[in-house]
Chains A and B, each alone.
Chain A
Amino acid sequence: MSETESVLELRAVTKCFGEGDARIEVLKGLDVHVTRGEFVAIMGPSGSGKSTLLNIIGCLDHPTTGAYFLDGEDVGKLSDNRLSTIRNERIGFVFQSFNLVSQLTVLENVEVPFVYRRPHPSGVRERCRALLDSVGLGHRLKHLPSQLSGGERQRVAIARALANDPVLILADEPTGNLDTETGEDVLRLLEGLHAEGRTIVMITHDADVAARANRCIHIQDGRIGEAA
């Protein structure tokens, strides 16, 4: 890696699905570069390939061709197990539909990433409690997700994304399921994290939301459009 400041670098990434005649090329050679501390929005209409891009960035999927460097490590060809470890240690996910485990309490949901750590780190409970405090949910630790409002659930999800102290926070339409007001809370939270120096990549199709980021990458039909 030439630049140590780079958190995320995609080089000529393509992604194809299907075989033979049914083969569809979803990503057609993308170069994306995100440096440490950036707040980047990825925009594009549905079907543009932004979800596929997110899956690759989130280490949930491999690119068909091209290279992906996360925090200086080539993760493009790693095994399923290694990718799991990387997700566990370096990436914090915030999803549109929150994706909390419904049987677990708020506190336990935040602790989930640590369940898969070996050896089991100490002080997890205290750390998670502090994180929930910082998103204003210190009084809801024993609640189940179903007992919370949408905004509260997304704040739990953000606390969870921060739990493993990730190098990259990946937000997939974090405000998509929220009304304007609570969406605004969540955006402010993300901006706060950015202010703390965290790297955030956010996917959205809402131009107003995208405007909150310091850079916007447009994706159109599997290619990068003009940067805003």
Chain B
Amino acid sequence: MRLLSMALRNLRGYALRSFLTTLGVVFGVASVITMLAIGAGAEQALLDEIGRLGIGNIILNTVKPPEATQDKGGGGGGWVHEYGLNYKDLAMIRNTVPGVGRALPVHRRNPRVWHKSRKVDATAYAVKPDHLKLFGYEVVRGRPLTHLDEASLRQVCLVRSGLIQQLKSFQDPLGMDLLINGLWYRIVGVLKDDAFRGYAASALGINSKTKEIYVPYRTEIAKRGTREHRRRQGSFEATDVKLHQIVIEVENPDEVVKVAQMVRRVLTKNHDDEDWKMVVPLEVLRQRRKTQQVFTYAMVAIASISLLVGGIGIANIMLATVTERTREIGIRRALGAKRRHIVAQFLTETTVLSTLGGILGVAVSFGLISLMQNFTGWDAIVKPISIVLALTISMGTGIVFGIFPARRAAMLDPIAALRHE
């Protein structure tokens, strides 16, 4: 305690110098904490983004093969490209793979959507009612899709609230009719405008530029079929993709990886072409997190260099201080201070200095982080452990870089020190 108050007094005696000396530690600690906070924030964002896909889910997507070799003769004198996931896959996954809870089909269409005379950019997803629950879609107005909608082939749909703005209609959107590929669908519910971002969107085959419309799966398939015609280079081109997506819910989330392997085996047997792709959110999350952590550690390591420089700054100034206070050291030695007392005195001073710097650095980091969040909108989370870590390191810096000057002070010859001018 006496050592501590003595150190504080000495530091106060040279307030400006002490402050400048510790500045290196202040910024070192501030940058370390900021980097850790950015890392933690990015990790949380990742968790939010990919976590929305559900870590207990497996998502299968149809992809267009490089060459659609399975051309089969279709109607109308054209060719029909048939590829992708099909009903056989769905049935086999449902019936042969153990551990599979629900397996939900999704059919996607890029439709021409009309409301009165206005054309809307949208993608229609024919989904099972459970699909919306599984991914936590939030209905802000109206009602969700129901099994009854499916059973009675109702022509109803859910839209993103962003789509309503595009309609530029001042009417109540509920009950509005949309002409989707020649079929009338009535809006029964509006979804919250929290579209999937980044990786999650691409994994679900959602194009963030177009708005989503969700229609009952059976209605769409029964009334429109799965074939799609497109005019291209003067001729018609037909494609037939039975299923664009299969979402598998694994009963026990711990078995996701095992189930994924079995599903993969089934699909590899069914498909000659690489016309499907599997996304396992859990694996993606793990992988991304690992990358993120490596990045964070690298940034923290770089930030630590400034902490090191701060420590060297402290050592440097303390060496100067020792020279300046040689006389005092001599007096103290003459009055009975042992070498270790002198070491303790100077070591306490550097440690107090660097710890104060660390505390100040924590404060600065909070300022830095809030400033950064204002300007960049990055997520940053300051974990208590990172503060503890930074303070411990700054204290350690004081001890490590204080030892040399302190030992130097203690090894001074008391007689010479007393004579020192």
Contact = CB atoms under 8 A, between A and B. Distances in A.
Interface in B143-194: none
Contacts of B327: 99
A81 B338 contact: yes
B335 A80 contact: no
A103 B338 contact: no
Interface string A196-228: 000000000000000000000000000000000
A112 B418 contact: no
B415 A55 contact: yes
Given A87-B334, A112-B332, A99 B418 contact: yes
Contacts of B9: 103-104
B415 A84 contact: no
B328 A84 contact: no
Interface residues of B, number: 21
Given A55-B415, A60-B414, A116 B334 contact: no
Size band of the interface chain A makes with B: 20 to 34
Contact of B337 (A84, A93, A102, A120): A84
B337 A58 contact: no
Contacts of B338: 80-81, 84-85, 116
A93 B335 contact: yes
Contact of B336 (A89, A95, A103, A120): A89
A154 to B, nearest CB: 14
Contacts, number: 63
Contact of A88 (B331, B336, B418): B336
A61 B9 CA distance: 31
Contacts of A102: 328
A164 B415 CA distance: 21
B419 to A, nearest CB: 9
Contacts of B334: 58, 60, 87, 93, 99
Contacts of B339: 80-81, 84
A59 to B, nearest CB: 9
A16 interface: no
B336 A61 contact: no
B107 interface: no
A60 B2 CA distance: 25
A101 B332 contact: yes
A195 interface: no
Nearest to A104: B9
A89 B338 CA distance: 13
A103 B13 contact: yes
Interface in B366-410: none
Given A112-B332, A115-B2, A103 B10 contact: yes
Interface in B1-52: 2, 6, 9-10, 13
Given A102-B328, A103-B9, A115-B2, A61 B335 contact: no
Contacts of A81: 338-339
A116 B328 contact: no
B108 interface: no
B242 interface: no
A112 B331 CA distance: 10
B333 interface: yes
B94 interface: no
27 contacts: A60-B414, A81-B338, A84-B333, A84-B336, A84-B337, A84-B338, A84-B339, A87-B333, A87-B336, A88-B335, A95-B418, A99-B334, A99-B418, A101-B328, A101-B332, A103-B9, A103-B328, A104-B9, A112-B331, A112-B335, A115-B337, A116-B332, A116-B336, A116-B337, A116-B341, A120-B2, A164-B336
Interface of A: 55, 58, 60-61, 80-81, 84-85, 87-89, 93, 95, 99-104, 112-113, 115-116, 120, 160, 164
